Amino acid sequence: MLNKRSAYWLILPAVLVIGIFGAIPLFISLAYSFMSANPYGGVQAPLTFGAYVQMLFDQDFDGSLIFMPDYFWIAFRSLYLALATTILSLVIGFPVAWYIVCQSPGRRKVLLTLVSLPFWINTLIRTYCWILILRDEGLANKLFGWLGFISHPLPLLYNQGSVLLGLVYTFLPFMVLPIYATLERLDPRLIEASYDLYANRYQLFRRVIWPLTKPGIAAGTVLVFAPALGSFLQPDLLGGGKQLLIGSLIEMQFTSSRNWPFGAALSMLVTFAVILSLAWQRWRTKRAAAAQAA
C-alpha cells in the first residue's frame, strides 16, 4: 500500500506540469498587466493600472481621460463570435456525433479518424485553404458561376461570416469528440425503454438523450468557446483585418504595438471571461444536483 507521503510524490509530475506550463505563465501575465510598457518591447516599472484604464478610456493631451468604447466593442464582438461559434458547433456537432455512434464499430473508427484528421495539418495552412475556396475567383464562386447561379462573384471572404465559418471549421472536432464519448456510453436499452413508454423522437431526445449527454456537451462547449474567444488566426486571415477581435488585438500588442502590459491586461480579460463561464456552468450543475436531491 502507498502511504500518504509517497502518494504526494506521485502527483508531483502533474503538479509540475500544471505549474510550469499553466500557473506560472498566468501569474507572469497578471504581473505584466500591472506594469508600464517599454517602448522597445517588454515591461518596466512603475506599477500602474494604466493598462486596464486603457481598455475603456483614452488619455487626452492634457492628461484627462476620454471614454472610448472601441476596445469594448472589440471584446463584445469577440464574445458574440465565440458564442455563435459554440452554438453552431453544437448544432452541427451533435448530429455528427449521433450519426457516428449509430454506425458499426468498424465504420465508427474510420469516421472518428476523419473527424480528427484536420489535426494532422497545420491550422495556418488549413485556414489559408479557406481563402482559396472563398475568394472572388475561388472554388466556391467558380462552382456557383459554372452552375449558373451567379453572374458576379459573391463577396464570400473578408466578412464576419467567413470568420465565423473559419472558427466553426477549426473548433468543430472539439465539440464532436466529447459528445461522441458520452453518446457511446449511452445504454441503447434506455432508448428502447423510452419508446416502449410512449415517447416520440422529440421527447426521447429532450427527456433522455439530452440530459444524459449533458456532461459531453458541457465539455465540448468549454473546449470550443475558450479557444474561439482568444483566436486571432481566423479573424486575421478570413476577416481581412477588418474584423478585429480580441485575440488579434492581444497579438498586436505583443508584436507591432509593443504594449505588453495592455496585451497582458486584455488576455486577463479573456481568462476572466472563460473562468466566469466555467463558474456559471458549475453553479448550474450544482443547482441541478441540489434540486434533484431535495
- In the complex, the residues that contact other proteins under the rule CB under 8 A are 187, 189-190, 192-200, 203, 207-208, 211-212, 292
Task: CB nearer to other proteins: give 5 or 189.
Answer: 189
Give every CB contact of residue 76 below 8 A, 6+ residues apart in sequence. none
Residue among 48, 53, 26 nearest 35 (CA): 48
Tell how far CA 72 is from the center of its chain. Answer: 19
Q: How far is CA 262 from CA 23, 154, 269, in A?
A: 20, 38, 11
Task: CB nearer to other proteins: give 41 or 211.
Answer: 211
- The distance of closest approach from Cβ of residue 131 to other proteins in the complex, given in angstroms and rounded to an integer, is 45
Task: CB nearer to other proteins: give 184 or 192.
Answer: 192
Residue among 92, 83, 119 nearest 245 (CA): 83
- The distance of closest approach from Cβ of residue 206 to other proteins in the complex, given in angstroms and rounded to an integer, is 11
- The distance of closest approach from Cβ of residue 208 to other proteins in the complex, given in angstroms and rounded to an integer, is 6
Task: CB nearer to other proteins: give 80 or 195.
Answer: 195
Task: CB nearer to other proteins: give 186 or 222.
Answer: 186
Task: CB nearer to other proteins: give 148 or 188.
Answer: 188
- The distance of closest approach from Cβ of residue 241 to other proteins in the complex, given in angstroms and rounded to an integer, is 47
Q: How far apart, in whole angstroms, are the C-alpha atoms of residue 267 and residue 212? A: 34
Q: The cell 459554440 sits on which residue?
A: 86
Q: Is 122 helix (H, G, I), strand (E, B) or coil?
A: coil
- The distance of closest approach from Cβ of residue 198 to other proteins in the complex, given in angstroms and rounded to an integer, is 4
Burial class (CB in 10 A: 0-12, 13-18, 19+), 87: middle
Which amino acid, one-letter code, is at 39?
A: P
Give every CB contact of residue 150 below 8 A, 6+ residues apart in sequence. 141, 144
- The distance of closest approach from Cβ of residue 214 to other proteins in the complex, given in angstroms and rounded to an integer, is 9
